[in-house]
């Protein structure tokens, strides 16, 4: 949905049950025209979608969120100030995919979440 338009994956570090993706945000993307003009902010729902897309690409299958246990948005993600973000994903795969994820840049944590996917 957003990969290769809103953001580009620069690198992936993969270990069993962990993904760390460095992404570069396209500050010229149309989403920032409405959120907000002259003061762009990455919408929270889009940050969560990026986690889902990174997981789907790694696992090579489509996912649907079953439940969101916790979700906190801790800092405003302005693509002009933080064009590169590291997405940390820890997952445990069973019948349900349990995920703990966050997005950060230079010690600034933008979001933390815990969710389950089918």
Residue 56 resides in a domain: yes
What's the number of domains the chain is made of? 1
Residue 67 resides in a domain: yes
Please state whether the predicted TM-score (pTM) of the whole model is above 0.85.
yes
Reported as a single tens digit per residue, the pLDDT across 58-115 is 999 999 999 999 999 999 999 999 999 999 999 999 899 999 999 999 999 999 999 9
Residue 43 resides in a domain: yes
H/E stretch holding 8 reads strand 7-15
Beta strand extents in 16-105 (DSSP E only) = 18-25, 65-73, 84-93, 97-105
Tokens of 117: 């996917």
Residue range 45-63: mean pLDDT, rounded? 97
Domain with 52 in it? 7-117
CATH assignment at residue 111? 3.10.129.10
**How sure is the predictor about 1, in pLDDT bands with cuts at 50, 70 and 90?**
confident
Torsion on CA atoms 90, 24, 62, 68, rounded to nearest 10: 50
Residue 19 resides in a domain: yes
Residue 2 resides in a domain: no
Torsion on CA atoms 8, 13, 14, 18, rounded to nearest 10: -90
Calpha distance 23→116 (Å, rounded)? 23
What DSSP designation does 94 have? S
Mark 41-65 as b/e (b = at least 16 C-beta within 10 Å): ebeeebbbebbbbbbeeeeeeebee
Residue 18 resides in a domain: yes
Reported as a single tens digit per residue, the pLDDT across 31-47 is 998 888 889 999 999 99
Calpha distance 13→45 (Å, rounded)? 24
Residue 20 resides in a domain: yes
What does the pLDDT read at residue 35? 84
Reported as a single tens digit per residue, the pLDDT across 9-28 is 999 999 989 999 999 999 99
Residue 45 resides in a domain: yes
């Amino acid at each position: 949905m957003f990969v290769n338009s809103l953001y580009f994956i620069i690198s992936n570090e993969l270990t069993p049950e962990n993904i760390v993706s460095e992404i570069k945000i396209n500050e010229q993307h149309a989403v920032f025209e409405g959120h907000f003009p002259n003061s762009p902010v990455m919408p929270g729902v889009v940050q969560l979608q990026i986690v889902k897309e990174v997981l789907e690409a790694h696992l090579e299958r489509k996912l649907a969120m079953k439940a969101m246990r916790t979700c906190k948005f801790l800092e405003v993600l302005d693509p002009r100030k933080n064009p590169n973000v590291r997405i940390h994903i820890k997952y445990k795969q069973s019948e349900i995919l349990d995920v703990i994820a966050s997005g950060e840049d230079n010690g600034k944590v933008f979001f933390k979440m815990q969710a389950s996917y089918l």
